[in-house]
Amino acid sequence: MKESIEILKEHYIKHNYYDDETLSVATQDLIKRIQELEEENAILRKANNITKNLEKEVKIEDITQVMNKTFEEFMKDYIPTQKVKDKLEELKFERDKTYEEFIESNRSSKKLQVKGIYLDSQIIILQELLEGEK
């Protein structure tokens, strides 16, 4: 692009169209636009070089490693649905057994009453967890 400007200036000098003070507006606009294009081209080349360098730096193996690590961390915190359902059934069985004992004690055992309420709350939590998954 710099060569284009110089060639244009030489052409105008050669044909007496050009001197620094009387350069036509159209020619000035053209030279200005060529300079802008040169600047844009330099920016694009720089961005292209940066992109090439990034492509060299980021390898598929690195991305795969990060994805695997993220998946492993997710799986550490993941509780299978069936495990929750099994625990829910276990708590329901325990709750029913506790209420039977509570009734047999003529509803006088505070310990069985509190245990039953606790089991009910745990059951509700697990049911809400399962419903939230749907």
Average pLDDT, stretch 106-123? 90
What's the confidence (pLDDT) of residue 8? 64
What's the confidence (pLDDT) of residue 65? 73
What's the confidence (pLDDT) of residue 90? 94
Structure tokens at 17: 């169209």
111 vs 132 pLDDT, higher one: 111
**55-103 residue pLDDT tens:** 666 666 776 777 777 777 777 677 788 888 999 999 999 999 999 998 9
Helical spans, DSSP H, in 15-80: 25-57, 60-77
Give whole-number Cα distances, 90 to 6, 76, 104, 120, in Å: 87, 23, 21, 12
**1-58 residue pLDDT tens:** 556 666 666 666 665 555 555 556 556 667 777 788 888 888 888 888 777 776 666 6
What's the confidence (pLDDT) of residue 41? 84
Domain ranges of the chain: 2-66, 79-133
pTM over 0.95: no
Angle at 131 between CA 130 and CA 134, to 5 degrees: 95
Is residue 104 within 8 Å of residue 73, measured between CB atoms?
Answer: no
What's the confidence (pLDDT) of residue 96? 93
